[in-house]
Amino acid sequence: MDLIARIRSRDVRAIARALTLVENGDEPFLAALDAGYAHIPHPERVGITGPPGAGKSTLTSSIIKNLRRQGRRVGVVAVDPSSPFSGGALLGDRLRMTEHALDEDVFVRSMAARGRFGGLAIGSHDACDVLALAAFDPVIVETVGVGQSEVDIARLADTTVVVLTPAAGDSVQALKAGIMEIADVVAINKADREGSEHLEEDIKEALELRAHQPGPLWLPPVVRTVATTDEGVDELVNAIAQHRTFLLSQGALPEVRAARSVARLTDLAGEALLRALRTGTRAKPLFERLCSQVRQGTISPRAAVNELLTSLKL
Amino acid sequence: MDLIARIRSRDVRAIARALTLVENGDEPFLAALDAGYAHIPHPERVGITGPPGAGKSTLTSSIIKNLRRQGRRVGVVAVDPSSPFSGGALLGDRLRMTEHALDEDVFVRSMAARGRFGGLAIGSHDACDVLALAAFDPVIVETVGVGQSEVDIARLADTTVVVLTPAAGDSVQALKAGIMEIADVVAINKADREGSEHLEEDIKEALELRAHQPGPLWLPPVVRTVATTDEGVDELVNAIAQHRTFLLSQGALPEVRAARSVARLTDLAGEALLRALRTGTRAKPLFERLCSQVRQGTISPRAAVNELLTSLKL
């Protein structure tokens, strides 16, 4: 039986193997996955993001517990941004999810976000598809919100949960800076700590600014949680379900998915075009000559790119 | 007098204007900057990076004070990664550098890292060139180490200073995960805090692993600093100078600069190729059709990219 068929039959080792192939960018496997593109199911996709230390992994683990009681099979892709600074801490976090390690209806996989093009996006998309093939629903994508990744996660998920804590750093300024743009649901985790009421007020104020925007109104619910004791997690899971109901009632899911596919196309195209500079019949010799001229300082990088574009006649 | 000439004459308002044009990706200005590419000076470039909260801005401010006593003109590009989470806190940090606001021989500019292609790199390169034209030497690039940015900063600078603190998160694991690869000098800031001796031991151990690599040996010095009281900053500035002396003695600077130019070319090429998909005579209609097919789900994003590459005959 081929690997795709084994994934479909929910073979845990096949799923693990497939995710490794995805992580390595294995061309034959990606082509096989792609050949069955039209038949890949579309499970609910939930994104969970927030600053380092917000308790995202613990919260995800609580969410899994809740969803398991509902009998759902839960797949999780936990994306580590490739930061040498945060690497260690994140790996520590992942360990907290091992409580589900013996449950065949839960699959948690950590992946490093690599590459310049859409970092998070490319491998994570394929990983989500593998989990979808294995009949996991929902598929949860968890990532620390740094740099580009929180925007990527918003594109990857139908429903994006932003996790904040009453701690230094999650200031009002930060909230207004754009995070509210991507939140469909906000979780205030570690809500038993001092400052959580104040944070809740700030968040609600920021969200009301958004309520004045045109379009069908979804006011993101703000849910207080204590992930370590599962407090508030029922409410959080409900809030996620409500957002899905909202999307369905608006007929918005096809558009969400279409936009996601186009974003994926753009990421893949960027990656492929850069690769073409190293391997393409026309592009490679041209790019090599330009690199050499740029190295020698006889031409500026910007002038070289202009020449590249002119010569390639795109 | 044109803007480039005014920058060369060290006109502060012209420099500020030019950096705004760089930040906005203003094509006419970038073309003018590029026209004089061969005549842009090559000042010493120092990168300063580390995790959020390490005190990078305060340390940079101390370094500026030290360099000013040596009579040097110091330009700083402080790059904020475009994270909605960290936005607020970083802006607060920048304020600490205002003590140099009245000094015409110090220029500090905060820039947002934007875009997918080389994020940090593209605008920062041009900003460094503007500061170089205005005869700042050294030019310091400061950035928080998240995601791709600490790798980018290593490419942008001749000497990269990694700032760590004896705080949670800067664990041994994190140190080994790759940060030591980019450090030419390590500063242990907030060295008056508990745990700094332990951190120093860990760092030195990690650095010794690197010492077994082939090639001319530079063992990055580890300097203990307390930026708020300027403690250890003389030693840090000395360590940076020693690394420069090492590069000069090895004749390595031309290679460092050549590699930097090629990296810049690659970043710009990636950006330009993606732009060509939206504007190119051949590429645009093709890409639009593929986008539309991908939206409708009649073709997978990966299959669309394959068709794109085949049709463009790169």
Nearest-CB residue to B272 (from A37, A87, A309): A309
Same domain as B23, residue B118: yes
In a 10 Å sphere around its CB, with 0-12 CB exposed, 13-18 middle and 19+ buried, how is residue B11 labelled? middle
pLDDT of B190 = 92
**Angstrom distance (rounded) from CA A32 to CA A22:** 11
CB contact under 8 Å between B265 and A313, yes or no, is: no
Question: Which residue on chain B is closest to A256 by alpha carbon?
Answer: B295
Nearest-CB residue to B88 (from A177, A280, A294): A177
Q: Are A310 and A303 in contact (CB under 8 A)?
A: no
Any A CB within 8 A of B138 CB:
no
Span A128-154, average pLDDT: 81
Same domain as B274, residue B242: no
User: Quick check: is B257 in a domain?
Assistant: no
**Angstrom distance (rounded) from CA A219 to CA A312:** 48
Nearest-CB residue to B171 (from A89, A291, A314): A89
Any B CB within 8 A of A145 CB:
yes
Category of A55 on φ-ψ map: left (φ > 0), alpha (ψ -120 to 50) or beta: left
Same domain as B237, residue B270: no
Percent of chain A past pLDDT 70, that is, above it, reads 81
Count of domains forming chain A: 2
pLDDT of B203 = 86
Domain that holds residue A110: 38-251
Nearest-CB residue to B84 (from A85, A179, A309): A179
User: Quick check: is B15 in a domain?
Assistant: yes
Same domain as B201, residue B165: yes
User: Quick check: is A126 in a domain?
Assistant: yes
**Residue written as token pair 């040498």:** A84
> Which has the higher per-residue pLDDT, A211 or A133?
A133
pLDDT of B245 = 96
For the segment A188-247, what is each residue's pLDDT rounded down to a tens digit?
999 999 889 988 988 888 888 776 666 668 889 999 999 999 999 999 999 999 999 999
pLDDT band at A120 (very low <50, low <70, confident <90, very high): low
Same domain as A281, residue A238: no
CB contact under 8 Å between A84 and B145, yes or no, is: yes
Question: Which residue on chain A is closest to B300 by alpha carbon?
Answer: A37
List chain B pLDDT tens, one digit each, 314 residues. 799 999 999 999 999 999 989 988 899 999 999 999 999 999 999 999 887 778 888 999 999 999 999 999 999 998 865 544 444 344 444 555 667 777 889 999 887 665 444 445 568 889 999 999 999 999 999 887 655 555 666 778 999 999 988 865 445 445 545 567 788 999 999 999 988 998 898 888 888 877 666 666 888 999 999 999 999 999 999 999 999 999 999 999 999 999 999 988 988 898 899 899 999 999 999 999 999 999 999 999 999 999 999 999 88
User: Quick check: is A224 in a domain?
Assistant: yes
> Which of A174, A232, A231 shows the shortest CA–CA distance to A203?
A174
**Angstrom distance (rounded) from CA A204 to CA A200:** 6
Question: Which residue on chain A is closest to B120 by alpha carbon?
Answer: A147
**Residue written as token pair 């992946």:** A111
pLDDT at A86 over 50: no
Question: Which residue on chain B is closest to A92 by alpha carbon?
Answer: B173
Phi and psi at A113, nearest 5°, equal -80, 120
* DSSP-based three-state secondary structure for B209: helix
Token readout for A135 is 């009949």
Q: What is the ipTM of this complex?
A: 0.84
Same domain as B175, residue B73: yes
Same domain as A155, residue A109: yes
For the segment A10-54, what is each residue's pLDDT rounded down to a tens digit?
999 999 999 989 988 899 999 999 999 999 999 999 999 887 778
Chain A: closest CA distance from residue B29 (Å): 12
**Angstrom distance (rounded) from CA B290 to CA A85:** 39
Same domain as B302, residue B211: no
**Residue written as token pair 């039959």:** A9
CB contact under 8 Å between A169 and B52, yes or no, is: yes
Instruction: Specify the range with the lowest mean pLDDT, choosing from A70-79, A248-257, B75-84, B156-165.
Output: B75-84
**Angstrom distance (rounded) from CA B60 to CA B131:** 16
**Angstrom distance (rounded) from CA B149 to CA B167:** 21
Q: Are A209 and A220 in contact (CB under 8 A)?
A: no
Token readout for B170 is 């800067």
Which of the listed residues A251, A280, A303 is the one where a domain comes to its end? A251
User: Quick check: is B259 in a domain?
Assistant: no
CB contact under 8 Å between B291 and A148, yes or no, is: no
Question: Which residue on chain B is closest to A295 by alpha carbon?
Answer: B258
> Which of B120, B117, B267, B271 shows the shortest CA–CA distance to A117?
B117
Q: Kindly provide the residue ranges of all beta strands, DSSP E only, lying in B2-145, ordered along the sequence.
A: 45-50, 74-81, 106-113, 139-144
pLDDT of B224 = 97
Nearest-CB residue to A280 (from B150, B258, B314): B314
In a 10 Å sphere around its CB, with 0-12 CB exposed, 13-18 middle and 19+ buried, how is residue A96 labelled? middle
Span A247-255, average pLDDT: 93
User: Quick check: is B172 in a domain?
Assistant: yes
pLDDT band at A91 (very low <50, low <70, confident <90, very high): very low
Same domain as A183, residue A63: yes
CB contact under 8 Å between B85 and A302, yes or no, is: no
**Angstrom distance (rounded) from CA B182 to CA B272:** 28
Phi and psi at A42, nearest 5°, equal -115, 80
CB contact under 8 Å between B174 and A37, yes or no, is: no
Question: Which residue on chain B is closest to A283 by alpha carbon?
Answer: B314
Residues of A with Cβ-Cβ distance to B37 under 8 angstroms: 300, 302-303
**Angstrom distance (rounded) from CA A56 to CA B66:** 42
User: Quick check: is A42 in a domain?
Assistant: yes
A residues 49-78 lying closer than 8 A (beta carbon) to B: 50-52
Same domain as B270, residue B191: no
> Cis omega before residue B138 (within 30°)?
yes
pLDDT of A211 = 66
CB contact under 8 Å between A272 and B85, yes or no, is: no
pLDDT of A94 = 53
Q: Kindly provide the residue ranges of all beta strands, DSSP E only, lying in B74-178, ordered along the sequence.
A: 74-81, 106-113, 139-144, 159-164
* DSSP-based three-state secondary structure for A38: helix
